[in-house]
Amino acid sequence: MIILNNGRIKQGEFAAVLGPSGAGKTTFLVSLAGKCTLPSEGTVMVNDTNVRDLHAVEMVPQFEVFFDGLSVIEHLVFMLLSNPQILISDEPTSGLDSYNASLVISALKKLSKSGKIVICSIHQPSCDIFREFNSLMLIAEGKMVFHGSLDECKAVFESINLHCPLNYNPAEFYIRAVSNQSEGYVEKIMESYHDRSLEYDGTSLDTSLGHIQL
């Protein structure tokens, strides 16, 4: 399973990780946090330092690891006690109504605006919540299919004649497209995205993850 061959996440980025169920989103996030226990190859660097050698990254897992009575916000507060440069959250809005989901996303976005890197997988986001992110990571079949801005994603999809209908949720459209294996869209999207080059200044999370054995 190849999660990500190469990539860079910039300071202040608020990234949504999208993909069909079983695509590898949680494995990807755990690997970014340096907490993957599966046999794997590759490195994750924070400003040229291996993520395993520092405490700049904190992760809020999908399943409760503190106390059953804690809310999502309270879990986030615990993670922020160490003032991490990078916060990773696995499906922070799962099980929440639209109002509380919006509150959580607003809190995470505020953290990214303070200069932190915030990455979270998101399950079936509403259009309003999806638009709060300034970056999208699309994962399918254990591969990073796309990473860039929402506008860039729209352009990549349209370049292979995949146009999101008006009044349709873009997040759902992207997930449905990469779930359709018979059409070969994953390979087409990756080919269109492949030659993009990214250059950023400031704090960054560099990834070069190879195979993760499942």
Q: Which two tokens stand for residue 22?
A: 């079983």
With contact defined as beta carbons under 8 Å apart, do 146 and 189 qualify? yes
What is the β-pairing status of strands 7-10 and 204-212? antiparallel
pLDDT at 62: 64
| Residue 153, number of CB atoms within 10 A of its CB | 24
Q: Which residues of the chain have pLDDT under 70?
A: 1-7, 36-41, 53-55, 61-82, 181-182, 195-214
For the chain, the 3-state helix, strand and coil shares in percent, each to the nearest 5, are 35, 25, 40
pLDDT at 126: 94
pLDDT at 195: 61
Query: Shortest CA distance to 132 belongs to which of 159, 176, 161, 101?
Result: 101
CA angle at 79 for the pair 74 and 80, rounded to the nearest 5°: 95
Domains and CATH numbers, the chain: 7-198 (3.40.50.300)
C-alpha neighbours within 13 Å on the C-beta side of residue 209: 30
User: Measured between alpha carbons, how far is 4 from 82 in angstroms, rounded to an integer?
Assistant: 27
Q: Which two tokens stand for residue 5?
A: 């061959």
pLDDT at 71: 64
Q: Which two tokens stand for residue 202?
A: 């400031």
pLDDT, tens only, 196-210: 544 444 555 565 444
pTM tops 0.75:
yes
Q: Which two tokens stand for residue 7?
A: 């990539």
Q: Give, in order, the Cα–Cα distances in Å from 83 to each of 78, 79, 86, 87.
A: 10, 8, 9, 9
pLDDT at 2: 44
Question: In 5-67, which ranges are continuous DSSP H helix?
Answer: 25-32
